[in-house]
Amino acid sequence: MTDSLQPLESHPDAARIRAKVLREGRLHLILDGEGLARDERDALEARLTEAARVLDGVEAVEIAISAPKVHRKLVAIGSGKGGVGKSTMTANLAAALAKKGVKVGVIDADIYGPSQPTLLNAHAKPEARDKQLIPVTSPSGVKLLSVGQLVEAGTALAWRGPMASGALNQLVEGDWGDTEVLLVDLPPGTGDVQLSLVQKAKPAGALVISTPQDLSLIDATRAIDLFEKVGVPVLGLVENMAGYRCPHCGEESDPFGSGGAQASAKELGVPFLGRLPLSASLREASDAGRPPASEDGPAGDAFATLADALMSQLETIAR
């Protein structure tokens, strides 16, 4: 090391410098960017470039930042049919993971009916850098990319399959930085969007949402069959809208039936991760962009338990 580069040893970012070579007035620096998000890497490069330019003998600075690829776990969340609370479940599960300190993001792949900007209160239009969309961070700490952030509210998307698949690819290829778990809120059914996701970025696993109702379970079974046919492990089945407690008399009832999802999971040989009851407060808070899973309380506890079960299944299939 030449004496002219000595000042870099005392720079606040010196621990990030892995190699430095000064040749014919051109300083080459290799930096360790492990654990840094895109904007943090940019800031690191700017600081060291500024510090290096004033050194004796340095006429130009070239910086390369190395960082190991983030081993991100992508989880597809499907239902087979609409109206089972899949999007609300996705938003609150993401909020529960964020509360636990997990760096989590959501891809709103329900191209024709994007609801995550409302559920997560993340309506801002994403910026783009180097042809990559930069996710918008919600108040609950969840990163989000959704077609709903890119079009005017209430606009109908009359897109054919290839256009919808292309939009999904843009969301998947966004700059997710150091995100550890990426939840994909799939549209109902087993069509182009689901197949495009599997082909473009094979999920680590899939979570299937159903109500106890027989019709819902029939479609959930189809979703499970699709994931198994394309080689995506089914992490588990969750029963939503399972029971209802009257806020006036306290009596409990089962408007959609009872225990159907748990029985189906056993029959299909997939894990049953739990059930969540019908809840007006959960619906109201989520629709207002305040996922109750990010707060303390019964709903927060229920989603925290579900988040733990999901992470446990991800760890199991990774072994």
Binding residues: 80-87
Cβ count near 166 (within 10 Å) = 12
Structure tokens at 33: 């960017």
Question: How far out from the chain centre does Cα 83 lie?
Answer: 21
What are the φ and ψ backbone dihedral angles of 129, each rounded to 5 degrees? -140, 125
- CB 256, CB 213: distance < 8 Å: yes
Structural contact between residues 43 and 172, judged by C-beta atoms closer than 8 angstroms: no
Residue numbers in the known binding site for ATP are 80-87
Q: Report the run of H or E that residue 213 belongs to, with start and end.
A: none
Q: Rounded to the nearest 5 degrees, what angle is found at the Cα of 226, between the Cα atoms of 223 and 231?
A: 130
DSSP category for residue 2: -
As a whole number of angstroms, the distance between CA 275 and CA 273 comes to 7
Could you list the beta-strand ranges (E) of 211-294. 234-239, 244-245, 252-253, 272-275
Amino acid at 83: G
